[in-house]
């Protein structure tokens, strides 16, 4: 009787059933889409963070750069002596220099901090890295020996000090304007364009020195090997390098090639890529830590410590303990790091987190309200019916059960339709696959100091910073994939059940409060 | 609680209005020695209507023997339906006591009153009050207010009840597909299927034409006679009232006996 009565009532009141179910479906679909997109954004943030900090890193330790500290100077300088470079047949001089230094805005600290961290309770694994920046300068200088003095009328090598009769009244050294009646020097010859010009290439890429024996934690834990091999324990002290695939492609380097880092030739032994489909790894090149320290002159210095906590629940306590052990260090948890992700990914996250969530809540509340109002209105229209049923002996509980059952089915119908609509919505999101840009800023400049950032794409980004300025890194594009999880579907169905039961409870309560005599009297 | 089957007198009742009684001084007077089905003592029922208080029942003392067919007449607003609701455990009196057999309805809680309605009382309404979305048989089944009767038995008894009112062939029809007389038959089947001891009918023929009215009254009278029910009918129709063995008139909340004419 319960089911028969329920189904007959719902089919007889199709309009009400459709309105309630449609409202519920809209709300459920919205919840699914928002939840799916939010999960996608979270995954994107995680992949960005993992590409920078590696998998399994719970806490990172850095030190804020002090003004004038390494990397905080006015910029890289290249110094050449008079005998440097290679002179070619046309008199041009080719010069090249490669230096390895701490990345701008990166403060280094004593590697003994690693041992301190490893001694803190709750540390499962820890490893140290040194973030460096390789800068290379190469170019061709013209032959200045030809222009040391112009061919003056005195028949001697001009020194440029002769009387200048040119029209602008300035001292002319190029000998092309006016008539140099004195000892005007000759112009340089050769050079990049063969006519006395010069051309220079300046290139930078990021280099991370890491402990080749640390496999459990560190920036390479989120990378997968594409070609060759990764660093091994016996690589310590050797000149081998593993490259990020994206950077290696742009630099046209492959396993077996040679790459000059800090003036030393390194053999490329492997190519790695981020496990995230669209993000690059944390650095362009990875070399053994001790090699990096030696080449950069930062002996026994490190820039980052990556820590894995013994238990996920103990991360906050671990942060406190590490901070106590290293008072001058900046200790960050994953949640702290998440706030360092910037770009349109963050905008999307904010949008989903605030607007999406509130929109879902509002629509859900509206759907619940519609369901409740329609149910109460339906109870009002069925006063005679419920009065009669009470007169023939139906208990309040049975009437409440009947009303609640009808509302529950209406909610479930809406839930099923909403789940289907929500899945279609997520399918559309995944087909469109919007691309979001993201950058994970790893270092904030101190007061008055310049800042630098290591971006998720691995491209070095540097710039001068003002007071307290954070320098944005070059962005990484992350394609948004909104996952469908069974938990979200269950959540949606659960909300539909809750909505139906809520409306049924209110409607049933109204029905149960009807006094049979008054109900019959009111419709007599 | 079932009394002996009374014989309808068929005697014309003289429409003599007695002075409003302070109460039946001798409860056995009307029952003639039969155990009372209902005993009402100083029953008062008041309602609030805005700022006014309306007295629907005003200190009624009444006794209805088991198996009696009683007609209650009176003007609109005189308290007929209120009295029927008090008798049917739909409402409790503001003061006084109402006893149904051994049960004190005036002191019972909602759940106990619902149980009394489910077990002992059958209702027939002027407007039939069938559930429009349920078939005739399903409407009859709603009378089984709980699941104590197995489903197959409920279905069998519903069909038997419909057959007893001559609607076996209409069991699968919705109320909207039935005439007024047929709908009232379904309502009577619904009231009878649980085999109550009391059948209360509120203007059961008020919405029917004369021919159908007589059919329904024949049916009710036959049921009353065959099953030995206590039958209380509220009616405006004197032709209906005259078929009862006892007639009461209620006006201004007070009840009076209408004596048979000599």
**Residue A246: per-residue pLDDT:** 86
Contact across the interface for B142 and A394, Cβ inside 8 Å: yes
Mean pLDDT value across residues A242-269: 90
Contact across the interface for A392 and B145, Cβ inside 8 Å: yes
Per-residue confidence of chain B (262 residues) as pLDDT tens digits? 333 333 333 333 333 333 333 333 333 344 456 678 999 999 999 988 888 888 999 999 999 999 999 999 999 888 888 999 999 999 899 999 999 998 899 999 988 999 999 999 999 988 889 999 999 999 999 999 777 888 899 999 999 999 999 999 999 999 999 999 999 999 999 999 999 999 999 989 888 888 889 989 999 999 899 989 999 999 988 889 999 999 999 998 999 887 664 4
Contact across the interface for A391 and B117, Cβ inside 8 Å: yes
Q: Are A302 and A207 within one domain?
A: yes
Contact across the interface for A393 and B119, Cβ inside 8 Å: yes
Domain that holds residue A281: 64-141+200-328
Determine contact: A56 vs chain B, CB below 8 A: no
Q: Give the minimum alpha-carbon distance from B126 to chain A in angstroms, rounded to a whole number.
A: 9
Q: Are A317 and A417 within one domain?
A: no
Q: Is residue A129 part of a domain?
A: yes
Interface A-B: count of C-beta contacts within 8 A: 89
More confident call, A213 vs A350 = A213
Q: Is residue A12 part of a domain?
A: yes
Predicted confidence (pLDDT) per residue in A333-350, tens digit: 877 766 666 666 666 666
Mean pLDDT value across residues A75-100: 74
Q: Give the minimum alpha-carbon distance from B33 to chain A in angstroms, rounded to a whole number.
A: 30
Residues in chain A within 8 Å Cβ distance of B127: 384, 523-524
Q: Are A374 and A256 within one domain?
A: no
Q: Are A125 and A72 within one domain?
A: yes
Final residue of a structural domain among A300, A328, A356: A328
b/e string for A200-234 if b means 16 or more Cβ within 10 A?
Answer: eeeebbbbbbbbbebeebbbbbbbeeebbebbeee
Q: What is the ipTM of this complex?
A: 0.84
When CB atoms are compared, the residue of A384, A385, A395 closest to B145 is A395
Residues in chain B within 8 Å Cβ distance of A17: none
Q: Are A113 and A223 within one domain?
A: yes
Phi and psi torsions of A428, nearest 5°: -65, -45
CA nearest B117 in A: which residue?
A393
Confidence band (pLDDT; 50, 70, 90) for A450? very low
Q: Are A373 and A418 within one domain?
A: yes
Note the Cα A478 to chain centre separation in Å: 8
Contact across the interface for B145 and A9, Cβ inside 8 Å: no
Final residue of a structural domain among A302, A328, A354: A328
**Residue A73: per-residue pLDDT:** 45
Handedness of CA A413, A415, A418, A423 (dihedral sign): negative
Single pTM value for the model: 0.60
**Which among A392, A394, A514, A521 is the top mutation candidate for probing chain B, defined by the most B β-carbons within 10 Å of its own β-carbon?**
A392
Confidence band (pLDDT; 50, 70, 90) for A433? confident
Contact across the interface for B145 and A388, Cβ inside 8 Å: no
Q: Is residue A461 part of a domain?
A: no
**Which among B91, B92, B112, B114 is the top mutation candidate for probing chain A, defined by the most A β-carbons within 10 Å of its own β-carbon?**
B114
Q: Is residue A290 part of a domain?
A: yes
Q: Are A319 and A351 within one domain?
A: no
**Residue A463: per-residue pLDDT:** 35
Q: Give the minimum alpha-carbon distance from A400 to chain B in angstroms, rounded to a whole number.
A: 13
Q: Are A273 and A386 within one domain?
A: no
Q: Are A311 and A350 within one domain?
A: no
Q: Give the minimum alpha-carbon distance from A24 to chain B in angstroms, rounded to a whole number.
A: 25
Determine contact: A362 vs chain B, CB below 8 A: no
Determine contact: A9 vs chain B, CB below 8 A: yes
CA nearest B109 in A: which residue?
A395
| Nearest-10 Cα torsion for A499, A501, A502, A504 | 120
Q: Are A134 and A265 within one domain?
A: yes
Contact across the interface for A396 and B110, Cβ inside 8 Å: yes
Concatenating the DSSP letter of every residue in A199-211 gives EEEEEEEEEEEE-
B 61-90 residues inside an 8 A Cβ radius of A: 81-82, 85, 88, 90
Q: Is residue A381 part of a domain?
A: yes
Phi and psi torsions of A359, nearest 5°: -60, -45
Q: Are A84 and A227 within one domain?
A: yes
Parallel, antiparallel or unpaired: strands A93-102 and A86-87: antiparallel
Containing A223, the helix (H) or strand (E) segment is strand A223-228
Parallel, antiparallel or unpaired: strands B103-104 and B95-100: antiparallel
Domain count for chain A:
2
**Residue A182: pLDDT over 50:** no
Determine contact: B110 vs chain A, CB below 8 A: yes
Q: Is residue A334 part of a domain?
A: no
Q: Are A244 and A359 within one domain?
A: no
**Residue A449: pLDDT over 80:** no
Q: Is residue A26 part of a domain?
A: yes
Token pair of A319 as six digits? 């942060």
Q: Is residue A466 part of a domain?
A: no
Q: Give the minimum alpha-carbon distance from B245 to chain A in angstroms, rounded to a whole number.
A: 26
Parallel, antiparallel or unpaired: strands A123-141 and A93-102: antiparallel
Predicted confidence (pLDDT) per residue in A376-426, tens digit: 888 888 888 898 999 988 988 899 999 999 999 988 999 999 999 999 998
When CB atoms are compared, the residue of B85, B114, B133 closest to A9 is B133
Final residue of a structural domain among A296, A328, A360: A328
Contacts of A194 (CB under 8 A, 6+ apart): A90
């Amino acid at each position: 009787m319960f089911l028969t009565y329920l189904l007959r009532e719902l089919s007889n009141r199709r309009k009400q059933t459709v309105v309630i179910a449609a409202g519920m479906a809209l709300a459920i679909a919205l919840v699914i889409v928002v939840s799916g997109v939010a999960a996608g954004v979270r995954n994107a943030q995680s992949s960005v963070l993992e590409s920078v900090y590696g998998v399994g890193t719970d806490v990172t330790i850095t030190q804020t750069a002090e003004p004038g500290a390494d990397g905080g100077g006015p910029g890289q300088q290249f110094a050449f002596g008079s005998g440097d470079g290679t002179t070619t047949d046309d008199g041009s001089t080719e010069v090249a220099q490669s230096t390895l230094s701490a990345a701008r805005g990166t403060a280094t600290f004593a590697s003994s901090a690693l041992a301190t961290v490893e001694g803190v309770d709750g540390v499962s694994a820890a490893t140290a890295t040194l973030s460096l920046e390789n800068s290379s300068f190469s170019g061709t200088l013209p032959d200045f020996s030809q222009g040391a003095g112009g061919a003056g009328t005195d028949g001697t090598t001009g020194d440029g000090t002769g009387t200048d009769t040119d029209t602008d009244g300035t001292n002319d050294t190029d000998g092309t304007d006016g008539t140099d009646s004195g000892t005007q020097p000759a112009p340089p010859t050769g050079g990049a364009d063969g006519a006395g010009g010069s051309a220079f290439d300046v290139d930078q890429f990021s280099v991370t020195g890491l402990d080749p024996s640390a496999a459990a934690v560190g920036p390479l834990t989120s990378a997968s090997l594409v070609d060759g091999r990764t660093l091994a324990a016996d690589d310590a002290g050797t000149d081998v390098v593993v490259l990020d695939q994206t950077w290696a492609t742009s630099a046209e380097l492959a396993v077996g090639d040679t790459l000059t880092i800090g003036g030393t030739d390194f053999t490329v032994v492997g190519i790695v890529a981020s496990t995230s489909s669209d993000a690059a790894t944390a650095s362009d090149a990875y070399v053994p830590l001790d090699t990096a320290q030696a080449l950069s002159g930062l002996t026994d210095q490190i820039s980052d410590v990556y820590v894995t906590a013994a238990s996920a629940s103990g991360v906050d306590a671990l942060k406190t303990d590490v901070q106590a052990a290293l008072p001058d260090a900046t200790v960050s948890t994953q949640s702290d790091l998440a706030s360092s992700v910037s770009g349109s990914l963050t905008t999307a996250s904010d949008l989903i987190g605030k607007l999406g969530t509130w929109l879902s809540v509002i629509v859900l509340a509206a759907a619940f309200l519609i369901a409740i109002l329609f149910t109460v209105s339906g109870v009002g229209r069925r006063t005679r019916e419920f009065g009669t049923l009470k007169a023939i002996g139906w208990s309040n509980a049975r009437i409440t059960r009947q009303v609640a059952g009808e509302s529950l089915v209406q909610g479930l119908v809406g839930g099923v339709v909403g789940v289907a609509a929500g899945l279609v919505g997520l399918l559309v999101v995944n087909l469109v696959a919007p691309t979001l840009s993201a950058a994970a800023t790893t270092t904030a400049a101190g007061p008055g100091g310049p800042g630098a950032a290591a971006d998720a794409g691995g491209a070095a980004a540097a710039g001068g910073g003002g007071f307290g300025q954070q320098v944005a890194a070059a962005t990484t594009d992350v394609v948004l994939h909104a996952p469908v999880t069974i938990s979200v579907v269950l959540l949606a169905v659960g909300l539909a059940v809750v909505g139906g039961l809520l409306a049924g409870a209110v409607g049933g309560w109204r029905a149960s409060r009807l006094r049979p005599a008054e109900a019959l009297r009111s419709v007599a | 609680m079932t009394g002996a089957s009374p014989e309808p007198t068929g005697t014309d009742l003289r429409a003599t209005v007695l002075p409003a009684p302070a109460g039946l001084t001798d409860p056995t007077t009307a029952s003639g020695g039969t155990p009372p089905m209902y005993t009402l003592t100083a029953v008062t029922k008041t309602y609030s209507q805005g700022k006014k208080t309306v007295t629907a029942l005003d200190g009624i003392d009444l006794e209805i023997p088991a198996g009696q067919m009683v007609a209650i007449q009176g003007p609109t607003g005189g308290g007929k339906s209120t009295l029927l609701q008090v008798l049917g455990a739909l409402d409790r009196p503001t003061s006084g006591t109402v006893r149904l057999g051994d049960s004190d309805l005036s002191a019972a809680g909602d759940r106990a009153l619902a149980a009394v309605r489910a077990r002992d009382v059958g209702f027939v309404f002027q407007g039939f009050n069938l559930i429009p979305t349920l078939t005739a048989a399903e409407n009859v089944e709603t009378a089984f207010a709980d699941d104590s009767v197995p489903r197959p038995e409920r279905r069998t008894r519903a069909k038997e009840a419909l057959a007893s009112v001559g609607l076996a062939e209409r069991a699968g029809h919705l109320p909207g597909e039935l005439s007024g007389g047929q709908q009232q038959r379904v309502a009577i089947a619904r009231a009878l299927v649980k085999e109550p001891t009391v059948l209360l009918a509120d203007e059961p023929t008020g919405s029917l034409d004369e021919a159908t009215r007589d059919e329904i009254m024949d049916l009710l009278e036959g049921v009353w006679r065959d099953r030995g029910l206590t039958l209380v009918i509220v009616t405006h129709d004197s032709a209906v009232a005259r078929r009862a063995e006892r007639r009461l008139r209620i006006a201004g909340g007070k009840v009076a006996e209408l004596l048979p004419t000599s």
